[in-house]
Every structure is written in C-alpha cells, then in structure tokens.
Amino acid sequence: MKQKIIIVDDHFIFRNGLKDLLADVPNVELIGEASSGEEFLAMLEKQMPDIVFMDIKMPGLNGIDTTRQALEKHPDLKILALSMFGENEYVEEMLQAGALGYLLKNIGKDELVKAIDNLAQEKGYFSDEILVMVTRKVFNAKQSSKEQNILDSFTKRELEILQLVSQGHSNADIGEKLSISPRTVGGHRNNMLSKSGLKNTAALVSFALKNKMIKP
C-alpha cells in the first residue's frame, strides 16, 4: 500500500531535493507540498496524507504549532520533524506536539526509506545524531535527578559537619565545636558517604562544593 506524503518546508530548494529522493522510493506517493504551516493546514481540508515531513523553523506558523494544530484535528497523521544540524533544542517541543520522529535535513535515500517504513508501521524514527542527543539528555536528566535526591537527603547537621570537614577540621575538632562526640561526627560522615555513594571524604567534599552545598 502506497504511503501518501506531504512535504512542509519554506525552502524551495530543499523541497525539490526531498522530492527527488522520494521519486526513487517505492510505495510512496507525493500528494502535495506546502511552504508554510498555514498553507499545509488549509491543504488538509482537501487531501489527507499518511506521512508529513514537517520543517520546524518557518515564517508565520512554525512547525511545532502546525504539528499541534494538525494533530488536534487529525490525530492519525504521522508527522516527522525536519531540522538542520544544531537545532536540537526543538526536539522535545516537537515530540510533545506529537511528532513521531526527527530527521536531519542531510538525510540520504537509505535513511529516508527506513524512516518511511518505520512510520508506516506506527513506529518512530530518529536520525542517529538526534538519537545520541536525546539519549544524552535523558541520561543527564537522570543524573541531575539523582544528584538532587542526594542533596535533599543531607541533614542540616551533616552539612554543618561537611563544611567543617572541607576546612580541614578533624573529627575531634568538629565534635568540640558542635558539642558532640568525635564518634558521632564520624557516624555523620559515614552516613553522607553512604547516601552519596562516594568512596571517600575528598570526593564528598568535591561533590558538595560542585553543588554549592557548602562554601569554598
């Protein structure tokens, strides 16, 4: 079954280049092209594609808002975002708008065929560069969340002790300053190491300074 396709991009040269690639792809039919989001939305009143290649940065209605509006009326549309290298900041917004994938505009025929096949099977598709970026972003978000959980787990007393540790005070000195026993100080230090998963006090102090838990 042929996949009906519409290209939405304000650059005439790019549209022509993509059309040339599509001409060599079996089981696809280019049924239209639009140079703006507004033109595309009007086009949907007359013809319905299976797959839409959607540019993100367009004058007037951008690709993100166009995607959102199109899917509100036609939730079965499969929209694939098109982006120049370095415009990765739009990935999350396009996915939230409902796009099923993200392609860089330097795509070749093989990648184009794979993307179309994936969307035809209700699967998403991401260019390798975009997939790496998304994976890294998710990993960093998890790391940030993990670090925040560690920060939130430290008590006021532990932070007091950690501040004094960073200044070179011994357990005995800290105990005297805070009117607690050196053994209690040692217990707090061990608790902080356990909570953070760090191996030694030096790493703990470095972590605390990096996250502004204590003053340098």
Cβ-based neighbour number of residue 102 at 10 Å: 26
- Distant-in-sequence, close-in-space partners of 36: CB < 8 Å, separation ≥ 6: 8, 10, 58, 59, 60, 61
pTM (global) more than 0.95: no
Distance CA 178, CA 157 (A): 9
Which structural domains are found in the chain, ordered by start?
3-135 (3.40.50.2300), 154-210 (1.10.10.10)
With bands split at pLDDT 50, 70 and 90, how would you rate the model's confidence at 72? very high
Angle separating helix axes 182-196 and 201-210, nearest 10 degrees? 70
Contact (CB, 8 A) for 25 and 112:
yes
Query: What would the pLDDT profile of 156-195 be if each residue is shown by its tens digit?
Result: 999 999 899 989 899 999 999 999 999 999 999 899 888 8
Distance CA 1, CA 120 (A): 10
Does the pLDDT of residue 85 top 60, yes or no? no
Q: Which residue has the higher pLDDT, 84 or 13?
A: 13
Q: How far is CA 175 from CA 106, 168, 208, in A?
A: 64, 13, 20
What's the DSSP call for residue 2?
Answer: P
Q: Which of 27-41, 93-107, 132-146, 200-214 has the lowest mean pLDDT?
A: 132-146
Identity at 78, one-letter amino acid code: K
Distance CA 69, CA 54 (A): 13
